[in-house]
Amino acid sequence: MPNRTNQLMVKELVSYLGDVEDMIFLDYRGMSALEVDGFRGGLASGGGRMRVVKNSVTRIALEELGRGEVAGLITGSVAILHGDDIIAIAKAAAEITRKNRAVEVVGGVLGGTVLEAAEAAALAKMPSRVELLGQIASQILAPATNISSAAGSGGANIAACVKQRIEDLERDAA
């Protein structure tokens, strides 16, 4: 049974992680305090958060949240990364692992599914939420763009198509 301080920490962490569905777990052992602070600030500017809590407290909180299968990923100096765009967070984690080889992604949770280290790291290769929204917008606007460019070019395109068709018909008739 945890002491009173740890019980309060578990309660607070359960409340904090209750609505968090997607997480990346980062072993940050090779980072200096300055690097951790800079990384945390970079995450925050993009809507992400980094939470460092004692492993025993984290495991108990995850058990209380019904996420006991994730508790096995919590070994060593592990930080919980989460936020609005898990892909952007995974990209930030991948960037810090490239800069500092001692730091590594140890796993994660995506939509309630536990991810192994390689799966969590692979999220960084996916397009972020902003990139996906841009792709969707361009796909939605593409037909309108094509119509407006055809209409804006006047009769030149139509005349060229008619001329080509006449030439084809004349060639076929000969």
On the 0-12 / 13-18 / 19+ scale of CB atoms within 10 A, 23 is: buried
Per-residue pLDDT at 81 exceeds 90: yes
Q: What is the pLDDT of residue 150?
A: 61
> To the nearest whole number, what is the mean pLDDT of the chain?
85
* pLDDT at 1 exceeding the cut of 60: no
pLDDT of 10 strictly over 70: yes
Q: Which residue has the higher pLDDT, 19 or 151?
A: 19
The lowest-confidence range among 26-40, 85-99, 158-172 is 158-172
Helix (H, G, I), strand (E, B) or coil at 79: strand
pLDDT-above-90 percentage for the chain: 18
Q: What is the pLDDT confidence band of residue 153, given thresholds at 50, 70 and 90?
A: low
Buried b (16+ CB within 10 A) or exposed e, 75-94: eeebbbbbbebbbbbbbbbb
Segment 135-144 mean pLDDT? 78
Predicted confidence (pLDDT) at residue 169 exceeds the cutoff of 70: yes
DSSP single-letter state for residue 12: H
pLDDT score of 55: 86
How far is 144 from 130, CA to CA, in rounded Å?
22
**Each residue's pLDDT tens digit, 91-124:** 999 998 898 888 999 999 998 888 998 999 899 8
Strand order in the sheet with 104-110: 48-52, 78-83, 23-27, 104-110, 113-115
Domains of the chain: 4-126 (3.30.70.1730), 130-173 (no CATH)
pLDDT mean over 31-57: 89
pLDDT at position 147: 63
The CA-to-CA distance between both ends of the chain, in Å, stands at 96
